[in-house]
């Protein structure tokens, strides 16, 4: 009779121990998930940053190929992404992976005197534009940005205000310039980045444009040569790189 009276107490103790073990393992899993979640989010952001850099460089490369082929700068994104005479300079119109609103880029133009328009990091920089055969920089009617690229279009510099993760309002990229000569793209997103790109830690300061002078230096040329109309545009991206 005494043994039977003690059994319920022993069973209750075993159930209590099992419950404590379950609670302990549940707490460990919750803590582990809490530690791993930020790492997963950070890794995802790093991957989007790498993809953003790759896409931005594709636009800069497409501008270079377009200029060498046509002797002028593109005046719309469609001229880069849509086939023209069986030539495509960009595989497709890539979106900014960091711009969650609409995926659009901020367009950067070059003026008649080589001044960048719409750049937040180099607003006063003058580009050394290759000369077209017969004189004059590349662009419609022998001039870069002859139809409005040098007008006051509300381009803002690095001081533009926007909330975290939001596009910078009022920038040049919010609307295309009719007749403007596109030399590159930049991000609209005013959010801090994990990666430092060209000294910039905010996405809106990440810019991807074709610099003819730097391109000539990388190729080991003493100066910037003129465009070569009729030059094949190439097949981006290079071998071994697969992109959608």
Which tens digit of pLDDT belongs to each residue from 117-130? Answer: 999 998 878 887 76
Q: What is the largest CA-CA distance in the chain?
A: 115
> Band of the pLDDT at 155, cuts 50, 70, 90?
very low
Look at 101 and 223; give whichever has higher pLDDT.
Answer: 101
Cis amide prior to 24 (ω within 30 degrees): no
Q: Which residue has the higher pLDDT, 119 or 27?
A: 119
pLDDT band, residue 232 (cuts 50/70/90): very low
Identify the H or E element spanning 110: strand 106-110
**For residue 27, what pLDDT is reported?**
72
Least confident of 67-76, 184-193, 210-219, 228-237: 228-237
Strands 182-186 and 106-110: antiparallel
* Cβ-Cβ contacts under 8 Å for 67 (sequence gap 6 or more): 73, 130, 138, 210, 227
**Over 70: is that where the pLDDT of 184 sits?**
yes
Q: How confident is the model at residue 31 (pLDDT cuts 50, 70, 90)?
A: confident
Highest mean pLDDT out of 17-31, 148-162, 201-215: 201-215
**Across 8-16, average pLDDT:** 63
- Higher-confidence residue of 149 and 71: namely 71
User: Omega into 54 within 30° of 0, i.e. cis?
Assistant: no
Neighbouring CB atoms inside 10 A of 237's CB total 14
Q: Which residue has the higher pLDDT, 135 or 212?
A: 212
Task: Give the per-residue pLDDT at 52.
Answer: 96
Radius of gyration of the chain (CA): 28
**What's the pTM value of the predicted model, to 2 decimals?**
0.62
Predicted local confidence at residue 178, as pLDDT: 58
Name the least confident of 20-24, 57-61, 77-81, 110-114: 20-24
Residue 134 has pLDDT above 70, yes or no: no
- In the 8-state DSSP scheme, what is residue 24? H
pLDDT at residue 243, as a whole number: 56
Asked if 52 contacts 202 with a C-beta cutoff of 8 angstroms, the reply is no
pLDDT over 60 (residue 200):
yes
Chain center to CA of 225 = 28
As beta bridge partners, residue 167 has: 189
Mean pLDDT computed over every residue of the chain: 72
The phi-psi region of residue 39 (left if phi > 0; otherwise alpha if psi is between -120 and 50; otherwise beta) is alpha
As a whole number of angstroms, the distance between CA 237 and CA 206 comes to 21
Q: For the segment 75-116, what is each residue's pLDDT rounded down to a tens digit? A: 999 999 988 788 889 999 999 999 999 999 999 999 888 889
């Amino acid at each position: 009779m005494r043994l039977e009276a003690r059994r319920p107490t022993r069973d209750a103790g075993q159930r209590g121990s099992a419950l404590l073990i379950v609670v302990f393992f549940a707490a460990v899993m919750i803590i582990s998930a809490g530690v791993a979640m930020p790492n997963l989010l950070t890794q995802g952001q790093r991957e989007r940053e790498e993809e953003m850099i790759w896409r931005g460089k594709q636009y800069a490369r497409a501008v270079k190929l377009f200029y060498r082929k046509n002797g002028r700068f593109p005046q719309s994104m469609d001229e880069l992404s849509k086939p023209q005479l069986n030539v495509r300079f960009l595989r497709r119109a890539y979106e900014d992976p960091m711009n969650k609103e609409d995926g659009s880029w901020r367009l950067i133009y070059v003026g008649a005197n080589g001044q960048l328009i719409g750049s937040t990091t180099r607003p006063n920089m003058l580009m050394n534009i290759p000369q077209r055969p017969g004189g004059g920089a590349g662009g419609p009617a022998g001039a870069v940005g002859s139809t409005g690229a040098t007008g006051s279009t509300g381009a803002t510099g690095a001081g533009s205000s926007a909330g975290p993760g939001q596009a910078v309002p009022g920038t040049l990229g919010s609307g295309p310039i009719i007749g403007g000569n596109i030399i590159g793209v930049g991000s609209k997103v005013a959010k801090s980045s994990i990666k430092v790109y060209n000294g910039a830690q905010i996405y809106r300061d990440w810019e991807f444009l074709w610099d003819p002078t730097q391109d000539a230096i990388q190729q080991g040329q003493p100066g910037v040569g003129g465009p070569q109309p009729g030059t094949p545009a190439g097949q981006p991206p290079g071998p071994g790189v697969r992109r959608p």
